[in-house]
């Protein structure tokens, strides 16, 4: 059993194939953390909790007595505010007396097979009961009557677990959740690097690392979405860990709104990480009997370096997060109209796109922004989801039919959570956007944000979208989101619930997205947020692919896609070849191939040479489709570590084939380029598709390849496809 309870020592042990997580019910029912790391068979690690020193005048529990245990320095399983633990706290509840002293202690536990769904929230799921085992620990704050349930689900075969928290107001008075983080993890040392993904529009998810220092280091978003600026992902990698060796602990929050991840190193040189909903602008009012469920954090342990951590995330998300018809179904090769014509199109232009696209071998035409209301630029019409017949003469059905008749599927763009002040919807319902009394609303990209906490708002948007989707043969939807939330108040909520708006907004979006996905299961949904501003596991639960970035320059994309690959699988990374940069189509294709792959250009304008290259890429797309989507990623040379070259590969899970890609970012004159491949089977022999040379996996990984014969000009690239030679 992956989860056990030693009733004598009162120790819980959660095991996966490579990790153990251990905690203990201590004196006075404090839940203390003992160990998280590589698998160990025994549970006698009580000594690890002992801390010699006090931070200063650390207070302690009188019954236990001074001088030994104190909550200020011992490793606490779920840290609370105001009762002696002065480090970052995971939980703070304001009670009927107005103070926020919170002190939950162990009561009981349950262990069961499978994994319960989290109400209203995206979460990892199981296909059979045997996929995972769950531990639910009940704790209570005796004084306030708050019951806090700590949920742990172990995905034994992956080296992964999830954590979330449920709070129930089991008292007869109101209480307010001021902070309720989803996980709290203690480490006995501070010898870690914190890797995380920072960025902005056009440079999302850039990998950076810093060594842990005393004090708090944190990343967060308070923009209303997970954001371009920080992804809800943190990896704590041991000082001596590399891409391929050593310990790495990955944390990824399954949530699409405001988040925070705080890592505190205390005076004892110990480390605590908490991750969850950002407490800034959050407070959840709980009436007696009400329950609040916090989103979950996925925790991955790897003792095969950072690369091993990424591969675990990828497999876990492909199998237990991405859902629906499109989970394993082959996705169509698409062309999106955005960069090819922006708002400047009509039905004839779309049909010309389709004709050319068909000729090149594309399978789906996506008509991006600009088809609805009176929208010819970004200043109007969001909220008016009916077709602009001045632009698309004969209406949408006629266009879809013409495109279908040419042999292509049809996809369409929406931005459901937004409203333009210049729209019929806004004129009819000015109170439907987020706003607070007596203050002007900030405008962003000429638009306001709809109050997604309101059911009437969601119903109206749903009805409009459903009418478009029901009336036409549409098989793909791009769901965009192009501004931050400001003045985040709701006209319907009472003052004591206004701090719930950010979270209610996210729940409302999930509800609407869930409705669309359930009612139109045949539709392939691709999320987007001004590029990759909402690229998170919460969104992945609804859309099996997410547009990675508006930056389609292949050289700059390398950094973005490498960062994204820290925890997100290639199967979900929206990546297109565009016309807008000088780098050749060869490299554009090789880089986009490591994602969902598609095109974003005007195919009518392509010259013969470009058409020839693209036709070859279309063949490669089909050839490598399964390998890239289900294979294991091995990063060979990272763009954040080497400014000259970048290399990576996908290796089939049974090691029978592999595709490696090499890009020169910056020319390095007269150097020998020598590379050792990774991830192959040393005992297998592989044939190079292009040269017919046969080498053992052992040679390719240990002696390596001398690739100096290939061009090393800036922006050039090449691939090596290897297939197992069967005797
Ligand atoms: C931002 C997206 O990232 C683009 O791909 C495009 O869909 C535009 N929005 C449309 O306004």
- Return the closest-CA partner of residue 122 out of 89, 76, 164, 151: 164
- Which residue has the least CA distance to atom 6 on ligand 1? 338
| Rg of the chain over all Cα atoms, to the nearest angstrom | 27
- Return the closest-CA partner of residue 184 out of 75, 315, 64, 293: 75
Whether the Cβ atoms of residue 451 and residue 490 lie closer than 8 Å to each other:
yes
How many residues are recorded in the chain?
727
Whether 155 lines ligand 1, by a CB cut-off of 6 Å, is no
Domains of the chain in start order, with CATH, are 3-320 (2.70.98.60), 635-724 (2.60.40.1180)
Q: Is the overall model pTM greater than 0.85, yes or no?
A: yes
Reply yes or no on whether 550 is catalytic.
yes
What pLDDT shows up at residue 710? 86
Task: Write down the catalytic residue from 72, 347, 550, 553.
Answer: 550
Whether 369 lines ligand 1, by a CB cut-off of 6 Å, is yes
Residue-wise pLDDT tens digits, 695-704: 999 999 999 9
What pLDDT shows up at residue 460? 98
Whether 480 lines ligand 1, by a CB cut-off of 6 Å, is yes
Whether 574 lines ligand 1, by a CB cut-off of 6 Å, is no
What pLDDT shows up at residue 676? 98
What pLDDT shows up at residue 581? 83
Query: Which sign, positive or negative, has the C-alpha torsion 338, 639, 613, 626?
Result: negative
In sequence order, which residues have a C-beta less than 8 Å from that of residue 320 and are 6 or more positions away? Answer: 124, 125, 126, 127, 131, 155
Beta bridge partners of 236: 194, 249
Segments in the chain below pLDDT 70: none
What pLDDT shows up at residue 523? 98
Ligand 1 geometric centre to CA of 369 (Å): 7
Nearest atom (ligand 1) to Cα of 528: 3
**DSSP per residue, 584-632:** -HHHHHHHHTTSS-EEES-GGG--HHHHHHHHHHHHHHHHHHHHHHHSE
- Return the closest-CA partner of residue 722 out of 695, 687, 673, 674: 687
Ligand 1 geometric centre to CA of 577 (Å): 15
Whether 600 lines ligand 1, by a CB cut-off of 6 Å, is no
φ, ψ for residue 701 (rounded to 5)? Answer: -95, -25
Task: Write down the catalytic residue from 480, 536, 553, 602.
Answer: 480
Quote the CA–CA distance of 481 and 97 in Å, as a whole number. 41
Whether the Cβ atoms of residue 502 and residue 553 lie closer than 8 Å to each other:
no
Ligand 1 geometric centre to CA of 379 (Å): 14
What pLDDT shows up at residue 61? 85
What pLDDT shows up at residue 371? 98
Quote the CA–CA distance of 266 and 189 in Å, as a whole number. 10
Instruction: Tally DSSP H helices, then E strands, for the chain.
Output: 12, 39
370 burial type by CB count under 10 A (0-12 exposed, 13-18 middle, 19+ buried):
buried
Ligand 1 geometric centre to CA of 282 (Å): 29
């Amino acid at each position: 059993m992956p989860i056990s309870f030693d009733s004598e020592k009162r120790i819980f042990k959660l095991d996966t194939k490579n990790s153990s997580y251990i905690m203990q019910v201590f004196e006075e029912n404090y839940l203390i953390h003992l160990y998280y790391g590589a698998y160990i068979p025994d549970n006698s690690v009580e000594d690890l909790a002992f801390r010699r020193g006090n931070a200063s005048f650390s207070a302690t529990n009188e019954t236990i007595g001074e001088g030994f245990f104190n909550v200020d320095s011992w490793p606490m399983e779920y840290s609370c505010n105001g009762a002696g633990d002065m480090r970052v706290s995971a939980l703070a509840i304001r009670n009927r007396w107005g103070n926020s002293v919170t002190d939950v202690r162990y009561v009981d536990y349950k262990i069961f097979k499978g994994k319960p769904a989290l109400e209203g929230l995206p979460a990892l799921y199981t296909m059979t009961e045997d996929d995972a085992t769950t531990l639910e620990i009940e704790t209570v704050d005796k004084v306030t009557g708050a019951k806090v349930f700590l949920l742990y689900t172990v995905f034994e075969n992956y080296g992964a677990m999830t954590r979330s928290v449920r709070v129930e107001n089991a008292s007869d008075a109101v209480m307010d959740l001021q902070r309720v983080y989803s996980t709290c993890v203690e480490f006995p040392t501070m010898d870690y690097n914190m890797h995380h993904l920072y960025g902005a529009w056009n440079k999302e998810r850039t990998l950076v690392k810093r060594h842990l220092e005393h004090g708090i280091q944190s990343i967060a978003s308070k923009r209303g979405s997970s954001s371009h600026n920080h992804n809800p992902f943190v990896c704590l990698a041991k000082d001596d860990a590399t891409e391929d060796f050593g310990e790495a602990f990955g944390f990824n929050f399954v949530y699409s709104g405001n988040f925070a991840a705080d890592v505190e190193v205390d005076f004892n040189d110990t480390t605590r990480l908490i991750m969850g909903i950002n407490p800034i602008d959050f407070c959840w009012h709980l009436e007696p009997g009400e329950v609040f469920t916090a989103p979950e954090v996925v925790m991955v342990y790897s003792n095969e370096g950072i690369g091993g951590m990424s591969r675990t995330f990828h497999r876990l998300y492909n199998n237990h997060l991405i859902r629906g018809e499109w989970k394993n179904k082959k996705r169509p090769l698409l062309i999106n109209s955005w960069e090819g014509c922006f708002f400047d199109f009509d039905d004839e232009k779309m049909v010309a796109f389709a004709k050319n696209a068909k000729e090149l071998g594309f399978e789906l035409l996506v008509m991006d922004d600009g088809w609805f209301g009176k929208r010819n630029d970004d200043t109007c019409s969001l909220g008016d989801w009916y077709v602009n017949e001045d632009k698309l003469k004969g209406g949408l059905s006629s266009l879809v039919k013409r495109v279908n008749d040419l042999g292509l599927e049809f996809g369409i763009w929406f931005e459901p959570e937004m409203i333009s002040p210049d729209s019929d919807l806004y004129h009819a319902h000015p109170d439907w956007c987020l706003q607070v009394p007596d203050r002007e609303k900030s405008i962003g990209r000429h638009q306001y944000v709809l109050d997604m906490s309101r059911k009437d708002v969601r119903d109206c948007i749903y009805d409009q979208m459903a009418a478009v989707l029901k009336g036409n043969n549409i098989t793909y939807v791009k769901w965009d989101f192009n501004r931050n939330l400001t003045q985040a108040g709701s006209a319907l909520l009472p003052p004591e619930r206004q701090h719930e708006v950010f979270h209610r907004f996210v729940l409302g979006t999930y509800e609407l997205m869930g409705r669309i996905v359930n009612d139109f299961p045949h539709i392939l949904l691709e999320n987007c947020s001004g590029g990759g501003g909402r690229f998170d596991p919460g969104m992945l639960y609804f859309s099996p692919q997410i547009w990675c970035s508006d930056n389609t320059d292949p050289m700059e994309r390398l950094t973005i896609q490498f960062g994204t690959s820290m925890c997100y699988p290639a199967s979900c990374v929206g990546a297109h070849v565009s016309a807008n940069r000088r780098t050749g189509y060869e490299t554009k294709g090789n880089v986009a191939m490591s994602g969902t792959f598609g095109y974003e250009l005007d195919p009518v304008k392509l010259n013969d040479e470009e058409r020839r290259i693209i036709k070859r890429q279309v063949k490669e797309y089909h050839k490598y489709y399964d390998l890239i989507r289900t294979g294991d990623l091995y990063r060979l040379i990272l763009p954040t570590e080497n400014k000259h070259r970048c290399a990576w590969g996908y290796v089939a899970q049974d090691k029978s084939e592999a595709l490696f890609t090499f890009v020169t970012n910056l020319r390095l004159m007269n150097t020998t380029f020598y590379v050792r491949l990774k991830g192959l089977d040393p005992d297998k022999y592989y044939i190079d598709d292009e040269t017919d040379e046969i080498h053992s996996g052992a040679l390719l990984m240990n002696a390596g390849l001398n690739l100096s014969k290939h061009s090393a000009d800036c922006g050039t690239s090449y691939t090596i496809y290897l297939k197992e030679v069967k005797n």
